[in-house]
Amino acid sequence: MPEDKDHKNSKGFSILLTGITIATLVFVAIVIYFFPSPEQAPVFHSDALTSPYSDSIDWVKPDIKSLGNSGSDKQIKYGRDLIAKTAYYLGPQGSVKHISNGMNCQNCHLDAGTKFLGNNYSAVASTYPKFRARSGSIESIYKRINDCLERSLNGTALDTSSSEMQAIKAYILWLGKEIPKGKKIRGSGIADLPYMPRKADTVNGRSIYVRRCQSCHTTDGEGIMNAATNTYTYPPLWGPNSYNNGAGLYRLSRLAGYVKYNMPFGVGYWDPRLSNEEAWDVAAFINSQPRPAGNVGHDWPKLSSKPVDNPFGPYPDTFGIAQHKYGPFGPIEKYRKEQADKKVM
């Protein structure tokens, strides 16, 4: 009988130990899933140099359902619809105009411009008008909106007095109404990933695309149309109906940062599925594919302000176009800094 008692005690201890082990493994899995490692942690967009982040502000996006039926509220809701369903109103079969390629603004500005690190609009109201080095001028919100239409949607500009432009502006202003002027908040725009010590690998990027992206964006990157064939359920990543080479996402750092915390579709900052290197490589593959040509001849008029990953010359350095497109970018940045330091001296 004493042996039976010992056996029962041993069995009970084993069950307890097993339970503790399972609980520990679950806890570790939760931590790994929800809290990114230092390698995954983003560096927030460099616009913060001119429009500092306000660390004391946590942006809570306004609830569109809180709006009523007043004229101004209806205008804001229409603006959101134009962002979420741009093609329905302004696409090739648009009910208002036919001025864009069939993609929607929220294909690049996720969740109608409200997703954390999903290229959201939270800081637009607080930072515009502002100087932008790409145009070399002070830009209005109207200019910002039309840039997206002409570059990312490969279309034509809206009349700034049109109902559609006024509605989009009203929506963007409403989203950022609680942000103090001149401030940005954590999670606005796109994350900057650390540069790799090597150039981005398009061959490896293709392999990642096949495994992670192809099921939605198809083998040829042409995306998947909805049943009514008037917009995309999953947008094209290259080809005649994708963003042109003047779009912000055509810069490798912008697309890599966007992909890292938003793709495959449905992931977010707290649960990235790609490593930094995978994000750089798949971005390189996507941007190596053919797409429409934009009007980039007058971009970055001050050469010293041209980003290191801008794939169009001339440059204020001695590096070639291929390195400016695919990297490595560290040596370019180092060279420019050394040249700038010499001028100061």
Question: Considering the chain, what percentage of its residues have pLDDT values greater than 90?
Answer: 78
Mean of pLDDT values over 79-84: 98
Task: Decide if pLDDT at 171 tops 90.
Answer: yes
Same domain, residue pair 241 and 333? yes
**pLDDT range class, residue 37, cuts 50, 70, 90:** very low
Q: How many domains does the chain have?
A: 3
Mean of pLDDT values over 14-19: 52
Higher pLDDT residue, 100 or 58? 100
Task: Using alpha carbons, list the distances in angstroms from residue 296 to 177, 239, 293.
Answer: 32, 18, 8
Q: Map residue 139 onto helix, strand or coil.
A: strand
- pLDDT given for residue 184 in this prediction: 79
Token pair in block for residue 248: 């912000």
Residue 181 lies in a domain: no
Same domain, residue pair 166 and 240? no
Judge contact between 232 and 224, C-beta under 8 A. yes
Residue 196 lies in a domain: no
Same domain, residue pair 208 and 335? yes
Residue 21 lies in a domain: yes
Question: Considering the chain, what percentage of its residues have pLDDT values greater than 70?
Answer: 83
Which helix (H) or strand (E) is 284 found in, with range? helix 276-287
Q: Classify strands 130-132 and 232-234 as parallel, antiparallel or unpaired.
A: unpaired
Residue 158 lies in a domain: yes
Q: Map residue 10 onto helix, strand or coil.
A: helix
Q: Measured between alpha carbons, how far is 322 from 325 in angstroms, rounded to an integer?
A: 5
Task: Using alpha carbons, list the distances in angstroms from residue 203 to 119, 128, 218, 284, 291.
Answer: 27, 40, 17, 9, 19
Task: Decide if pLDDT at 195 tops 80.
Answer: yes
Residue where one domain finishes, among candidates 121, 140, 175: 175
Residue 43 lies in a domain: no
Same domain, residue pair 147 and 225? no
Same domain, residue pair 111 and 215? no
Q: Give residue 312's region: left, alpha or beta (phi > 0; psi -120 to 50).
A: beta
Average pLDDT, the chain: 88
- pLDDT given for residue 118 in this prediction: 96
What is the per-residue pLDDT across 214-260, written as a single tens digit (0 to 9) for each? 999 999 999 999 999 999 999 999 999 999 999 999 999 999 999 99
Residue 224, beta-bridge partner list: 234
Same domain, residue pair 29 and 118? no
- pLDDT given for residue 13 in this prediction: 47
Which residue type occupies 257?
G
Higher pLDDT residue, 332 or 16? 332
End-to-end CA distance of the chain: 91
Same domain, residue pair 166 and 209? no
Q: Measured between alpha carbons, how far is 245 from 242 in angstroms, rounded to an integer?
A: 10
What contacts 292, CB < 8 A, 6 or more positions away?
A: 154, 240, 242, 244, 245
What is the separation of C-alpha 192 from the centre of its chain, rounded to a whole number of angstroms?
A: 10
Residue 84 lies in a domain: yes
Residue where one domain finishes, among candidates 138, 158, 175: 175
Same domain, residue pair 206 and 336? yes
- pLDDT given for residue 18 in this prediction: 54
Token pair in block for residue 280: 């750089």
Task: Decide if pLDDT at 294 tops 50.
Answer: yes
- pLDDT given for residue 57 in this prediction: 64
Task: Decide if pLDDT at 31 tops 50.
Answer: no
Same domain, residue pair 157 and 250? no
Mean of pLDDT values over 53-61: 65
- pLDDT given for residue 343 in this prediction: 83
Higher pLDDT residue, 16 or 51? 16
Judge contact between 283 and 261, C-beta under 8 A. no
Lowest mean pLDDT among 54-63, 272-281, 311-320, 330-339: 54-63
Residue 310 lies in a domain: yes
Q: Write down the residue that tokens 């942690």 correspond to.
A: 41
Domain that holds residue 151: 55-175
Residue 271 is part of a domain; what is its CATH number?
1.10.760.10
**pLDDT range class, residue 70, cuts 50, 70, 90:** very high
Same domain, residue pair 72 and 146? yes
The DSSP 8-state label assigned to residue 47 in this structure reads: G
Same domain, residue pair 206 and 315? yes
Same domain, residue pair 214 and 321? yes
Residue 235 lies in a domain: yes
What contacts 284, CB < 8 A, 6 or more positions away?
A: 200, 201, 202, 205, 252, 326
**pLDDT range class, residue 182, cuts 50, 70, 90:** confident
**pLDDT range class, residue 34, cuts 50, 70, 90:** very low
What is the per-residue pLDDT across 86-125, written as a single tens digit (0 to 9) for each? 999 999 999 999 999 999 999 999 999 999 999 999 999 9
**CA nearest to 281, candidates 343, 341, 196, 194:** 196
